[in-house]
């Protein structure tokens, strides 16, 4: 574990975690997450711009939403077309169960909903949980409508131990046969689910011609433990980072010295990170690069200015990481045991599963030091495979220096995850210091 000089001087603020809880409850899908982030940015003076419109190069905060992705940036007074960017990259999606195109199914007298597994899901964590439905509906007139049903509609029931006496010796779940949730009794009726969801959104079913719907655990986030020092919640990976980045950018843009910032602060919340980022809203797509380029051109810049701006740009890729697990400590690297409430983690992998190098470490350490925030290092056990993030993708696609960081947590990708209750604020403080330059 490593701490920045001056660590511990920051004052803890649980109101940030309280706001994170509200953010998580309002954001059961990527589409809701970016809408929730946009609401917070609007309060800080940002305004939405359409990709199909002509952009102005004047000072101020702006953001773009495309599906489940959001890019937001603040242009200070007096910057040039070649002014570099400071970017915090995150992602808005989380592993879950998503509704299939023909959802109404059933068996032996049960009504069920057909779902597809999204991302790397520990399947057993979705058993015996009360599930709601959320996402977006595509309407006949070309518009979309967000929908969020926080009622207990669905449940994936586990087989009773009486019918599987060896369940505690190792449970094997077939994704097709065993993960289909129930939502009632009787014969399945074609169109029943969409009919129900449409009416809940104050729509007529025939107005709905497409949908991107998913399940979410309706149990609300909560503080946990004797001293309420932990946070148990769904979608911490990676809405905690989206919330922290949004809070950091709003704070930077609202600060008295915002007009004199030496960089253009940016946040990027991509969709589809959990399945490779290969989409028009993912980190492998052109969205961020296009926004940065158009920002340069809107300020009267050229391709030369774009190249100069990106050459001086740094990105912090913020995503959840692994805290040392008390029951499986042998699966962690012996010299690196990140702990909850120990501050953000710097993620390192020499095979470029993370983008951090020594220079990036110095940038991250400096930001934590300015914020008075402790920080820790994470590296995988050599015998265990290492995950990856949008960091290497962003570095390779845009040719910009990138650093991977995050928060230490347990139960990553589960229906419900666990982190330190103070870490969300510590991460936001570090991200704010980074965006300030």
Q: How confident is the model at residue 263 (pLDDT cuts 50, 70, 90)?
A: very high
Q: Identify any residues that bridge with 347 across adjacent strands, giving them in sequence order.
A: 378
> Pick from 186, 217, 248: which residue ends a domain?
217
Q: What is the pLDDT of residue 9?
A: 58
Q: What is the pLDDT of residue 14?
A: 86
Q: How confident is the model at residue 12 (pLDDT cuts 50, 70, 90)?
A: low
Does residue 333 have a cis bond before it (omega within 30 degrees)?
no
Helices (H) and strands (E) in the chain, counts: 9, 20
Other Cβ atoms closer than 10 A to 211: 21
**227 assigned to some structural domain:** no
Structure tokens at 288: 């961020």
Expressed as residue numbers, the domain containing 136 is 96-217
Q: What is the pLDDT of residue 6?
A: 38
Q: Same domain for 66 and 110?
A: no
**396 assigned to some structural domain:** yes
Q: Same domain for 312 and 181?
A: no
**167 assigned to some structural domain:** yes
User: For 335-360, how does the pLDDT look when each residue is reduced to its tens digit (9 = 90+)?
Assistant: 999 999 999 999 999 999 999 999 99
CATH number for the domain spanning 121: value is: 2.30.250.10
Q: Decide if pLDDT at 5 tops 80.
A: no
**CA 18 to CA 28: how far, in whole Å?**
17
Is residue 219 left, alpha or beta, with left meaning phi > 0 and alpha meaning psi from -120 to 50?
Answer: beta
Q: Same domain for 199 and 54?
A: no
Q: Same domain for 123 and 255?
A: no
Q: Same domain for 131 and 213?
A: yes
Q: Same domain for 260 and 210?
A: no
Q: Decide if pLDDT at 1 tops 60.
A: no
Q: Same domain for 293 and 415?
A: yes
**223 assigned to some structural domain:** no
User: For 267-316, how does the pLDDT look when each residue is reduced to its tens digit (9 = 90+)?
Assistant: 999 999 999 999 999 999 999 999 999 999 999 999 999 999 999 999 99
> Pick from 217, 244, 265: which residue ends a domain?
217
**135 assigned to some structural domain:** yes
What is the full DSSP assignment across 57-88?
--SEEEEEEETTEEEEEEE-TT--TT--EEEE
Q: How confident is the model at residue 3 (pLDDT cuts 50, 70, 90)?
A: very low
User: For 125-161, how does the pLDDT look when each residue is reduced to its tens digit (9 = 90+)?
Assistant: 999 999 999 999 999 999 999 999 999 999 999 999 9
Q: Taking the C-alpha atoms of 402, 403, 407 and 412 in order, what is their torsion angle to the nearest 10 degrees?
A: 60
Q: Same domain for 73 and 145?
A: no
Asked if 72 contacts 41 with a C-beta cutoff of 8 angstroms, the reply is yes
**224 assigned to some structural domain:** no
Q: Same domain for 376 and 345?
A: yes
Q: What is the pLDDT of residue 437?
A: 86
Asked if 79 contacts 299 with a C-beta cutoff of 8 angstroms, the reply is yes
How many domains is the chain partitioned into structurally? 2
Q: Same domain for 270 and 251?
A: yes
Q: What is the pLDDT of residue 276?
A: 93
Q: Same domain for 299 and 425?
A: yes
CATH number for the domain spanning 71: value is: 3.40.630.10
> Pick from 152, 184, 217: which residue ends a domain?
217
Structure tokens at 398: 């845009």
**300 assigned to some structural domain:** yes
Q: What is the pLDDT of residue 135?
A: 98
């Amino acid at each position: 574990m490593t701490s920045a000089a001056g660590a511990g001087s920051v004052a803890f603020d649980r109101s940030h975690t309280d706001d994170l809880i509200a953010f998580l409850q309002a954001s059961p899908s990527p589409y809701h997450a970016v809408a929730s982030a946009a609401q917070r940015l609007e309060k800080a003076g940002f305004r939405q711009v359409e990709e199909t419109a002509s952009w102005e190069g004047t000072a101020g905060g702006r953001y773009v939403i495309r599906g489940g992705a959001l890019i937001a940036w603040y242009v200070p007074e007096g910057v040039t077309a070649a002014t570099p960017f400071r970017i915090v990259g995150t992602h808005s999606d989380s592993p879950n169960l998503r509704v299939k195109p023909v959802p109404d199914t059933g068996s032996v007298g049960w009504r069920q909903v057909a779902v597809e597994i999204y991302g790397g899901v520990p399947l057993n964590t979705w058993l015996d949980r009360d599930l709601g439905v959320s996402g977006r509906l595509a309407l006949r007139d070309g518009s979309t409508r967000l929908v969020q049903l926080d009622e207990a509609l669905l449940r994936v029931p586990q087989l009773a131990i009486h019918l599987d006496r060896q369940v505690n010796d190792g449970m094997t779940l077939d994704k097709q046969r065993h993960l289909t949730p129930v939502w009632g009794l009787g014969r399945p009726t074609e169109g029943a689910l969409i009919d129900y969801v449409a009416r809940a959104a104050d729509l007529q079913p025939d107005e709905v011609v497409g949908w991107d719907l998913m399940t979410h655990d309706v149990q609300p986030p909560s503080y946990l433990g004797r001293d309420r020092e932990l946070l148990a919640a769904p979608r911490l990976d990676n809405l905690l980072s989206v919330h922290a980045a949004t809070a950091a950018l709003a704070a930077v843009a609202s600060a008295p010295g915002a007009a004199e910032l030496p960089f253009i602060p940016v946040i990027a919340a991509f969709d589809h990170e959990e399945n490779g980022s290969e989409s028009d809203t993912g980190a492998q797509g052109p969205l961020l690069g296009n926004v940065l380029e158009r920002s340069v051109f809107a300020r009267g810049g050229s391709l030369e200015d774009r190249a100069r701006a990106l050459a001086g740009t740094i990105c912090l890729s913020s995503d959840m990481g692994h805290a040392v697990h008390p029951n499986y400590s042998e699966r962690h690297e012996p010299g690196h045991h990140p702990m909850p409430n120990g501050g953000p983690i710097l993620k390192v992998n020499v095979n470029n599963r993370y983008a951090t190098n020594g220079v990036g470490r110095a940038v991250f350490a400096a930001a934590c030091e300015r914020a008075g925030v402790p920080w820790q290092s994470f590296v995988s056990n050599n015998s265990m495979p290492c995950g990856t993030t949008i960091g290497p993708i962003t570095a390779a696609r845009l040719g910009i220096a990138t650093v991977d960081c995050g928060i230490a947590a347990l139960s990553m990708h589960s229906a419900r995850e666990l982190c330190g209750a103070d870490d969300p604020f510590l991460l936001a403080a570090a991200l704010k210091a980074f965006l300030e330059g």
